[in-house]
């Protein structure tokens, strides 16, 4: 696995409050799932906005992943031509 970035998450379970360190990719997965579920629930409410904002987040996240895959290039790290102190 590449570099691991940890996110500190505050978790509330009834009266228990605890802190977890989670990898960023896990936290992003939880956030993505939450947005998708709330968007789907918003579709069932006829008086609401239909979950448009939640689906905008999901679409933006998906677009960002696709854009990173298409535009990111790996560059070989070139050492400087002279010693750096």
Would 83 be classed as within a structural domain?
no
- Averaged pLDDT score across all residues of the chain: 87
Supply the range of the domain harboring residue 34: 25-73
Would 36 be classed as within a structural domain?
yes
Distance CA 63, CA 3 (A): 23
pLDDT tens across 35-64, in order? 999 999 888 887 777 788 999 999 999 999
Task: Indicate whether this model's pTM tops 0.85.
Answer: no
Would 54 be classed as within a structural domain?
yes
Distance CA 35, CA 62 (A): 12
Count of structural domains, the chain: 1
């Amino acid at each position: 696995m590449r570099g691991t970035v940890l996110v500190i998450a505050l978790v509330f379970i009834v009266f228990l409050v605890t802190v977890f360190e989670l990898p960023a990719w896990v936290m992003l997965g939880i956030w993505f799932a939450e947005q998708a579920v709330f968007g789907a629930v918003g579709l069932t409410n006829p008086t609401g906005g239909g979950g448009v904002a939640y689906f905008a987040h999901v679409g933006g996240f998906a677009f960002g992943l696709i854009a990173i895959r298409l535009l990111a290039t790996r560059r070989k790290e070139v050492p400087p031509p002279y010693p750096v102190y």
